[in-house]
Amino acid sequence: MQYDLIVIGGGPGGYVAAIRASQLGMKTALVEKGELGGTCLNRGCIPTKTLMHTANLYREAGEWETLGLELGQRSYDFAEIHQRKNDVVHQLRDGIAQLLKANKVDVYAAEGKVIDGNTVQAGEETLTAGHILLAAGSVPAVPPIKGADLPGVVTSDALLEAQGMDCQRLLIIGGGVIGVEMASVYASLGKEVTIIEAAERILPPMEREISQNLTMILKKRGVTVFTSAMVSGICQDQNGLVCHFTDKKGEQTAAADVVLLSVGRRPCTAGLFADGFTVELTQRGFIAVDDQFRTSVATISAIGDVIGRVQLAHAAEAQGIAAVEYISGQKEATVNFTLVPSCVYTTPEIASVGMTADDAKKAGKEVTTGKYSMNGNAKTKIEQQDRGFIKVVFDKETDVILGAQLMCARATDLIGELVTAVSLGLTRQQLGKTMRPHPTFCEGITEAVEEADGQGIHIMPSRR
């Protein structure tokens, strides 16, 4: 079968790219060996956030008496929690299938193997096209530590697929985004949770204050956190699993029923190319691409996790749109794929975009910052939210916003406004002119901007 474009991988990057290509007039095929939606929908973003929503409701129900509400004995059904998660996933997966059909994209439920620059083997079918787009995604990495193959030592896939894994004691190796989100879910359900992180703090890529605040909140909820800790091995005894590690205090052990390996992800390139054919790979095994997502083979492009730039669903979507627009002959993409917001769905939520103050200073820029403690925000008080803040960073010379860091309720929604502001190069004055409704969480943006002006007028006195 002859096509203009063959996309391998039906995750957020792949299916969005296929739809955009069809909209641009290309005859398009999508090859996916597993479920449509990829990791994000089936074993990542969507199931995690569905579980998080349920777990947060359960935790908040324990505080109802402070609101004048009465609740009987709290309880939950772990299997039913996961069944609801599965229902959400299935509904969204069906929606993707309908979108692809409506946009006349041919879907092949098979493993895709690139034979050459214009040919893909999809199961028993041989497909040819002028261009091929690789959106094969990634899988959880398994560190080379003794005991990583023991029963009960799992990756995030096992915790998120089917009925998940119920346990009383969960130990998480890795304090990155996946690690802290799963810690939040299990801790909110009353489980014993331990995090072991090799770096000096959890969420190491985030601003230090965010990491410190989240550590305090997790500990308050019963999570034990070890940092600057190196795991030497995992063994099994009569009571379950035992993790051996070394931190600043020396050799330590921690017991668990389940150990989650959450130390990053590796690209899905195994089996992607036929014997004797490949494209250039980076030293870490990701597919190397240029600024238009073209590989070393002119007719093959690649996007998303498999190129290793930013392993986020929304980044893959933006890259997919840009890649097919370049393939179609457009000189510029209609989407800004370089400005990527980062989100962590703990409670409170965390979100950031652009530069931190430290980033800007390292780049030789003088900055003006504005920070507002959300303890003084009326909506935060009303909804009994935890400590948090909104911080904005401006170029001191031009007053143009360079970035923002949020740790507060609805941070992952609020960041959208600030992504737009950074993308458009809005100034402090332009952001300050915007009227935001009251009482809302987004008022905190106004307060942070005014703090940068030295003119903050707080509805409630904030506690810094």
CB 312 within 8 A of CB 340: yes
CA gap 97, 362 in Å, rounded: 46
**Residue 373 CB burial class (10 angstroms; 0-12, 13-18, ≥19):** buried
pLDDT at 387: 80
pLDDT at 455: 63
pLDDT in tens, 282-315: 999 999 999 999 999 999 999 999 999 999 999 9
Q: Tally Cβ neighbours within 10 Å of residue 287.
A: 25
CA gap 13, 36 in Å, rounded: 11
**Closest by Cα among 423, 403, 422, 420 to 210:** 403
Please name every residue paired with 171 in a beta bridge, in sequence order, or none if there are none. 194, 259
Query: Which positions ≥6 away from 87 have C-beta within 8 Å?
Result: none
Which own/partner pairs from 205-208 qualify as long-range (CB within 8 Å, at least 24 positions apart)?
A: 205/342, 206/342, 206/344, 206/350, 206/352, 206/405, 207/352, 207/356, 207/358, 207/391, 207/405
**Closest by Cα among 341, 337, 360, 358 to 349:** 341
pLDDT at 453: 78
Ranges of the chain with pLDDT below 50: 459-464
Query: Which positions ≥6 away from 392 have C-beta within 8 Å?
Result: 369, 370, 371, 401, 403, 404, 418, 431, 445, 448, 449, 452
Side chain identity, residue 317: E
Is 438 among the catalytic positions?
yes
Query: Which positions ≥6 away from 412 have C-beta within 8 Å?
Result: 343, 345, 349, 350, 351
Which residue's structure tokens are 């097919």?
324
pLDDT at 462: 42
CA dihedral 382, 386, 389, 390 (to 10 degrees): -60
Structure tokens at 61: 């129900």
Structure tokens at 174: 């890795």
pLDDT at 318: 98
pLDDT at 456: 56
> Residue 439: is the preceding peptide bond cis (ω within 30°)?
yes
Catalytic residue among 53, 131, 244, 438: 438
pLDDT in tens, 370-422: 999 999 999 999 999 988 999 999 999 999 999 999 999 999 999 999 999 99
Q: Whole-prediction pTM value?
A: 0.94
CA gap 212, 228 in Å, rounded: 14
